A and B are shown apart, each in its own frame.
Chain A
């Protein structure tokens, strides 16, 4: 599917990621036996690097695989991701600086530390910590499923047993990830994030330039999508049912869109 050049590029980038991840342990060196040095990079990342880190948190397999395929299957409804991102940042801007300041003043490392101190309740802190971990699990699972989908496409036609090979590849990549998180903490993740965000910027710019050039502009693209949807509708395939160019004026979906991002 992706050819020999694609594989070389993929492996090269993968190696760079791994090297960056492990190099993180030495970068801006701190006393790694202290928890806040490991988990928060000594609280000295600065705005610019945190920007990269948050960017890498936000633009994941979900953004790159699930939202576009959702658009492909259901249409305009999945554009809810755009207002959602916008408003999330406003909420973060209002709450996060205060949280950061408190946390630095009192030496909190996690949200649970803050709750334990401020509400002086160990039970509540424990519950917050457990909620955080449980909430993280489906998120991680989502990323794994996304990566699996990517690997399946990459390996399709290359190896005879795609499922097994992609499972092994996923296991190896998670062992490496766990290893460099263990040695480098947030520093490794930050360096990885800078590279990842740069690649995302590159991908977005390339897409904006290449797609209109190659497929005869957005007008043609939307016209093709419309024709495709009509074909599907003729065969009673319920794809793109919420509209291609805008949400279908079926009133129930209008509220669905707003509630999805809120």
Chain B
């Protein structure tokens, strides 16, 4: 596989990863509910907070895919 196509491949995966949290958050009806609760916290709050942490991990992976091995 040539270098150029490998870079593109990485970019596509990174783009998909970045889109995941965006789609999750845009789909408001899917999390606008009280149940299931977690330790007394309604779903609406803990689900969005959980995705805040998950999106941080996902974006970190995307950043590695995009920028790893680049000369700084």
Residues of chain A having any CB pair with chain B under 8 Å: 76, 79, 82-83, 85-87, 89-90, 93-94, 97, 101, 212, 217-222, 245-247, 249, 254, 257-258, 261-262
Contacts and interface: CB of A to CB of B under 8 A. Distances in A.
B40 interface: yes
B21 A246 contact: no
B8 interface: no
Given A86-B55, A93-B59, A221-B40, A246 B33 contact: yes
Interface in B29-72: 29, 32-34, 37, 39-45, 48-49, 51-52, 55-56, 59, 62-63, 66-67, 72
Given A90-B22, A245-B34, A220 B40 contact: yes
B16 interface: no
A12 B18 CA distance: 43
Interface residues of B, number: 30
A221 B49 CA distance: 18
A79 B44 contact: yes
Contacts, number: 77
Given A83-B25, A93-B59, A219 B40 contact: yes
A89 B62 contact: no
B37 to A, nearest CB: 8
A261 B44 CA distance: 15
Contacts of A86: 21, 25, 51-52, 55-56
B28 interface: yes
Nearest to A220: B40
A51 to B, nearest CB: 12
A254 B25 CA distance: 12
A257 B72 CA distance: 39
A257 B62 contact: no
Contacts of B26: 258, 262
A86 B45 CA distance: 14
A83 B56 CA distance: 11
A257 B27 CA distance: 11
Contacts of B21: 86-87, 90
B25 A246 contact: no
B40 A222 contact: yes
A127 to B, nearest CB: 30
A83 B20 CA distance: 12
Contacts of B32: 246-247, 249, 254
Contacts of A89: 55-56, 59
Which 8 residue pairs of A and B lie closest in terms of their CB atoms, listed nearest first?
A218-B40, A219-B40, A246-B44, A245-B42, A83-B25, A86-B55, A245-B34, A82-B48
7 contacts: A79-B45, A93-B59, A93-B63, A97-B67, A218-B41, A246-B34, A246-B42
Contacts of B41: 218, 222
A76 B56 contact: no
